[in-house]
């Protein structure tokens, strides 16, 4: 096994020509480790601060603050035959979405793979490196300021090590997936992750996650959806975190008890850092806008918490999922999270999450347990 990379082992890339040259040397079918460092303190969109790449002992630290990466990644990682190896790639793919629309053509997520081969759900990169490579990584730079320049030697070493072991981990997990006949399932979940991370529009029915409003009237739920959609749209346009416009508790209060005047809204919304006068006026108009039947009909009902027979059905389904997970040697949470079952027993609508390979193993077991 090779020794951990030192900072000077990684090429520091701060202009497009150098990145193009590095990527041009990748052969078809290359196994490329990739990671990012990003900051997300005061913005809606994550700010890419560093891109790490690794292939066969060659490592690159790409500085996106020094030049516009443009479409540099697309030919090799999206249009080409390379396999891009990442760990817990969701936020990284979201960060890279403007530069790599659709994500890498072939994604191999090592955290998902670890769950499929019996190493547990949500295992960390550090734990994988320790288990599969016998190396204990120092995670001291986890909360570094990655937007500072120059980066310290410690930061550059930390960042490089995030891709040094990707090739070895990929090889070992790929073999274990093959042995368990789980390669296709893993690939399907990686595709699902790419689709979710690359979505540029927000959830169309965000109110369904607000379980506290499940007992509200249909017009109140529709108003809550209107406010949630406005918050998401406005936060994106301003590039500010959603809670800076409207915290959840305030939004619930406004939907239940809309203010009668702009002055009242001003009073109730004090402290919302991104809710300036133009946004406050726009919000007030939304709160005053009459609710029509079309908007109410377009609002999906918020599922309530299971009660009575639904609660008994939930317990039976959870037992069935746990039993099957044990049989398949998979984490129950990977097979079917509890919140998916909760929604299913209340709505009786087959969850989208359970499509694909999960449909094949669960559809014969769960529908018969729905409450009569």
- Predicted confidence at residue 342, as pLDDT, reads 94
Topology at the third CATH level for domain 206-297 = DNA polymerase; domain 1 (1.10.150)
Which helix (H) or strand (E) is 352 found in, with range?
A: none
For 16-62, what is each residue's pLDDT tens digit? 999 999 999 999 999 999 999 999 889 999 999 999 999 999 999 99
In the chain, ranges of CATH 1.10.150.80 domains? 206-297
For residue 5, is pLDDT > 60? no
Q: What is the pLDDT of residue 4?
A: 55
**7-198: CATH homologous superfamily?**
Ribonuclease H-like superfamily/Ribonuclease H (3.30.420.10)
The helix/strand/coil state of 95 is: helix
When mean pLDDT is compared across 39-43, 111-115, 123-127, 175-179, the lowest value belongs to 39-43
Residues whose CB is less than 8 angstroms from the CB of residue 266 and which lie 6 or more positions away in sequence, other chains included: 280
- The SS3 call for residue 31 is strand
Which is nearest to 234 in space by CA: 25, 34, 44, 10?
A: 44
Which region, left, alpha or beta, applies to residue 13 given φ > 0 means left and ψ of -120 to 50 means alpha?
beta
CA of 8: how far to CAs of 19, 35, 145, in Å? 17, 18, 20
Question: What strand order describes the sheet that includes 106-109?
Answer: 10-13, 58-62, 47-55, 31-39, 83-86, 106-109
Task: Tell me where in the chain the CATH 3.30.420.10 domain(s) lie.
Answer: 7-198
List, for residues 282-323, the tens digit of each pLDDT value.
999 999 999 999 999 999 999 999 999 999 999 999 999 999
- Give residue for tokens 């406050």: 280
The confidence score (pLDDT) of residue 99 equals 95
Q: Supply the pLDDT for residue 41.
A: 84
Q: What is the pLDDT of residues 170-221, one digit of tens each?
A: 999 999 999 999 999 999 999 999 998 877 678 899 999 999 999 999 999 9
Cβ atoms 63, 13 nearer than 8 A: yes
Cβ proximity of 109 and 89 under 8 Å: yes
Q: What is the three-state SS of 202-236?
A: CCCCHHHHCHHHCCCCHHHHHHHHHHHHHHHHHHH
Is a pLDDT exceeding 60 seen at residue 337? yes
Q: 49, 63 in Cβ contact below 8 A?
A: no
């Amino acid at each position: 096994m090779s020794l951990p990379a030192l900072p000077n082992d990684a090429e520091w890339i701060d202009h497009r020509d150098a990145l193009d040259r590095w990527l041009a040397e990748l052969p078809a079918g290359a196994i490329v480790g990739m990671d990012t460092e990003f900051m997300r303190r005061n913005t809606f969109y994550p700010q890419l601060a560093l891109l790490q790449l690794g292939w066969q002992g060659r490592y690159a630290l790409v500085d996106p603050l020094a030049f516009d990466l443009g479409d540099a990644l697309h030919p090799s990682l999206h249009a080409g035959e390379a396999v891009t190896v990442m760990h817990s790639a969701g936020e990284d793919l979201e960060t890279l979405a403007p530069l790599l629309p659709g994500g890498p053509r072939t994604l191999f997520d090592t955290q998902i793979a670890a769950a499929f081969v019996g190493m547990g759900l949500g295992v960390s990169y550090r734990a994988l490196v320790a288990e599969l490579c016998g190396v204990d990584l120092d995670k001291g730079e986890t909360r570094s300021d990655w937007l500072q320049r120059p980066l310290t030697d410690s930061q550059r070493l930390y960042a490089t090590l995030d891709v040094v072991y990707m090739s070895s981990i990929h090889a070992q997990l790929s073999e274990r997936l093959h042995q368990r006949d789980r390669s296709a399932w893993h690939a399907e979940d990686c595709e699902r992750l790419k689709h979710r991370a690359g979505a540029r529009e927000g959830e169309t029915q965000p109110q369904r996650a607000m379980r506290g409003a499940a007992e509200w009237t249909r017009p109140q739920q529709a108003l809550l959806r209107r406010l949630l959609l406005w918050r998401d749209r406005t936060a994106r346009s301003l590039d500010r975190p959603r809670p800076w416009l409207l915290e959840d508790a305030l939004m619930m209060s406004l939907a239940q008890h809309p203010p009668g005047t702009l002055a009242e809204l001003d009073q109730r919304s004090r402290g919302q850092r991104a809710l300036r006068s133009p946004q406050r006026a726009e919000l007030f108009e939304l709160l005053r806008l009459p609710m029509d039947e079309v908007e109410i009909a377009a609002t999906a009902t918020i599922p309530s918490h299971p009660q009575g027979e639904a609660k008994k059905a939930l317990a039976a389904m959870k037992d069935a999922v746990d039993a099957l997970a044990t049989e398949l040697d998979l984490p129950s949470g990977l097979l079917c999270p509890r919140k998916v079952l909760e929604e299913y027993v209340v709505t009786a609508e087959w969850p989208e999450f359970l499509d694909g390979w999960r449909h094949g193993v669960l559809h014969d077991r769960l529908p018969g347990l729905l409450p009569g």
